[in-house]
Structure 1
């Protein structure tokens, strides 16, 4: 593996990504523009990977997306 850390343990299965487990749920994704400070909450259907409208209009801006997982 190129670029792997020497102390990374890559043996065994890793935990499933929450997006792979909750395949039937709608997702509330938060978006934050690091460039201008705008924020939004996006309600996405399963399989929808549309970017935030602000992200499309301002391609040079750096936008962070995240989803809070409930326990």
Structure 2
């Protein structure tokens, strides 16, 4: 038999922080950028040369959604 309890609010493990900061490939899209990417899951690396208007992630990141990828902008 089902219990007759009523649940109100969100569970404690729900992320309530809201949207996170933009990824480096989403910032300064009005200029050319050089980014580095590292997959923490399988340890692949890449250097991304992004043209003006390009805000797409590394292909490896897009194709492997479960992998954790870190991006940083080269100076």
Q: Which has the larger radius of gyration?
A: 2
The CA deviation string for residues 27-71 of structure 1, in whole angstroms up to 9 with x for no partner, is 1110000111000001001231101010011000000011122xx
Which residue of 53, 60, 69 maps to 1:54?
Answer: 60
How many residue pairs get aligned? The number is 50
Unpaired segments ≥5 residues, structure 1: 4-18
TM-score, with length taken from structure 2: 0.57
* Structure 2 match to 1:35: 41
TM-score, with length taken from structure 1: 0.60
CA RMSD, aligned part only?
2.1
